[in-house]
Amino acid sequence: MEIERKFLLKSLPKKCMDTMVIDSMATLIRQGYINMNPEVRIVSKHVFGKETKYMMTIKSDGLLSREEIEFNIDRDKFNKLRDNFIKDYSMINKMYYTFIDGDFLIEVSIVDIGTDTSFIYAEVEFKSEEDSKLYKLPDWFIEECSPIEITNDSSYKMKNYWLRTRLNT
């Protein structure tokens, strides 16, 4: 079960900018969609300085909580799935960074950087829905990013963004 809250950000936290300059822990994600319901996507995940991982993810519908199954695939399978099912549609590119906030990780993503549809959002994953309801973003994060919660706005789901920016153009 995946339980996460999402926040649209007006700006990238300064900590991300510092990370880009002095740290190599930024991660580049490329993802494309094979099916919408259930959501089936392929993902390549490259942590700078490390080997690229390839995965297939299947997710149920839902906003705050949903079932998620993820498993590794090899590069050849990733390429075959991309070439045979995604075809001419481009992949979403995301650069993300993680920050520790006590017992929680905040993952900040820049989606399709340099495009007209680019945006920045943050996700925080939880062990329970109760934890998610009690959680408050740290003050430094609120001051730097002016977050707006989008957990219950399905237009910000990556599959809907992909449909909107890849299929309807």
Q: Global pTM? A: 0.89
Structural Rg of the chain based on CA atoms: 16
Among 7, 23, 26, CA closest to 124: 7
CATH code, residues 2-167: 2.40.320.10
Residues 53-69 pLDDT 10s:
999 999 999 999 999 99
Q: What angle do CA 35, 78, 97 make, to 5 degrees?
A: 85
**Minimum mean pLDDT range among 79-83, 115-119, 136-140:** 136-140
> Helical H runs in 42-128?
75-81
Question: Is pLDDT above 60 for 19?
Answer: no
> Helical H runs in 33-72?
none
